[in-house]
Amino acid sequence: MANTLATEQQKTLSESLATARSAKRIRDYQQISLYRDVNPLDWEDWRWQMRNRITKLDQISQVVSLTQAEEDGLKSARGRMAMAVTPYWATLLDPEDPMCPIRRQAIPTADEFKVSPYEMADPCGEDSHSPAPHLVHRYPDRVLLLATESCAMYCRHCTRRRMVGQEEKHDNSVNRWDKAIEYIQSNKKIRDVLISGGDPLTLEDDVLDMLLGRLRAISHLEFLRIGTRVPVTLPQRITEGLVAMLKKHAPIWMSLHFNHPKEITRRTRNACDMLVDAGIPLGSQTVLLKGINDRPSTMRRLMHELLKMRVRPYYIYQCDPARGTQHFRTPVSVGINIMEKMRGHTTGYGVPTYVIDAPGGGGKIPVAPNYILSQAKGKYVLRNYENKVFTYLE
């Protein structure tokens, strides 16, 4: 027992050291030539951050030493999602290490042009489950409202790459959600709406306020959820004004998207604190990504850091087979092994559910290590996290 405790303490200590080391690698923005003269008030302004996102090769090459694969990925826009990197996210990129987990999520490489035969434009079958524009209705009691096609940053592993990152084609009229809202209004079985996109927190406060207000006016809706990566990629967006507006529409839950411990900074902590203090429960969805978070120790460290800032780990997703993402996908066994190393080995609140979103639109299917060794009438033979065997009699 003493030995186990010592090993656990050692693990926790080395995890904390690793987090402190990554925090040290974050550059002050004025160390980056592009931002040398930027005034701190502009830097803290989310609209300035959005306007000044890095979208071009000659800009990103002032932030990192590009590899040939990155240059090739950036030279051709054909068939790939646009690049957009917030100046804030740019400070987290390792300028010299192309394997930096933050950098790999933001800068396209030539690998995005390789499409395997089983990859799809719409791997979760959202378009075929759409009863109205911007709406996906896959489960009986809840719907997904795709409120916008814009995001603060375009994640290279994005499953909705078929629709995000092409801002010039978007319909930005305020009545673009009319049909979707009419559908929700007329379907009394719907009790929960997940507003996602793109990223709904890229909308202006008044536009989001109007959308939330129209949905909250529907009496059979019990609560709303917002799916967003903005607290991670653009924490400056979490302003007092936004938080006060969201609070007005309670109960609202928020699903964030954290993939690596290096994404957790003083700034993201502050954003999460503001949201939680306003009574908005936070969960995190993490995508399992090859070479980024596919080691149990990295995933465990991420989950611990999330708990420390009151974000409940919710899902780990097997990376969907969206076109051009095979370089990010791991075998399913990697995910099962991560779950094996988490359940029982750390706080239950820190153990998310590992799921595969069934290709074609079957919804999320939980995948887990097998703890039932055999089953007969009235009897289950089970194993625990230490592989000790127990019999449970019904």
Q: Which residues bind ligand SF4 (CB under 6 A)?
A: 151, 154-155, 158, 160, 164, 197-199, 229, 257
Contact of 70 with 104, CB cutoff 8 Å: no
Let me know if 160 is a catalytic residue.
yes
Let me know if 142 is a catalytic residue.
yes
Let me know if 124 is a catalytic residue.
no
Nearer to ligand SF4, 19 or 89 (CB): 89
How far apart are CB 343 and ligand SF4 at their closest, in Å? 26
How far apart are CB 147 and ligand SF4 at their closest, in Å? 11
Which pair of structure tokens corresponds to residue 155?
């994640």
Nearer to ligand SF4, 100 or 155 (CB): 155
Note every long-range contact of 13-16, with CB atoms under 8 Å and residues 24 or more positions apart, other chains counting.
15/297, 15/300, 15/301, 15/304
Let me know if 214 is a catalytic residue.
no
Beta strands 389-393 and 379-383: pairing type? antiparallel
Let me know if 225 is a catalytic residue.
no
How far apart are CB 173 and ligand SF4 at their closest, in Å? 21
How far apart are CB 227 and ligand SF4 at their closest, in Å? 8
Of 53, 80, 104, 160, which one is the catalytic site residue? 160
Alpha helices, H only, the chain: 2-25, 40-43, 46-51, 57-60, 68-75, 87-90, 101-106, 178-186, 205-216, 230-233, 240-248, 266-277, 296-308, 332-340
Of 100, 124, 155, 272, which one is the catalytic site residue? 155
Let me know if 301 is a catalytic residue.
no
Let me know if 100 is a catalytic residue.
no
Let me know if 158 is a catalytic residue.
yes
How far apart are CB 285 and ligand SF4 at their closest, in Å? 9
**145: enclosing H helix or E strand:** strand 142-146
Nearer to ligand SF4, 91 or 202 (CB): 202
Nearer to ligand SF4, 183 or 258 (CB): 258
Half-sphere exposure of 282 (CA within 13 A, CB side): 25
Report the largest interatomic distance among the alpha carbons of the chain, rounded to a whole angstrom: 73
Half-sphere exposure of 139 (CA within 13 A, CB side): 14
Let me know if 364 is a catalytic residue.
yes
- What is the SS3 assignment for 393? strand
Of 237, 320, 323, 329, which one is the catalytic site residue? 320
How far apart are CB 299 and ligand SF4 at their closest, in Å? 18
Let me know if 315 is a catalytic residue.
no
Of 53, 138, 156, 300, which one is the catalytic site residue? 138
Contact of 283 with 312, CB cutoff 8 Å: yes
How far apart are CB 201 and ligand SF4 at their closest, in Å? 10
Nearer to ligand SF4, 15 or 125 (CB): 125
Query: How far, in Å, CA of 19 to CA of 297, rounded?
Result: 12
Measured CA to CA in angstroms, residue 235 lies from 267, 384, 394 at distances of: 6, 40, 50
Residue 149: left (phi > 0), alpha (psi -120 to 50), or beta? alpha
Contact of 343 with 369, CB cutoff 8 Å: yes
Nearer to ligand SF4, 63 or 155 (CB): 155
Of 139, 216, 343, 383, which one is the catalytic site residue? 139
Nearer to ligand SF4, 88 or 154 (CB): 154
Q: Which residues are catalytic?
A: 138-139, 142, 151, 155, 158, 160, 320, 357, 364
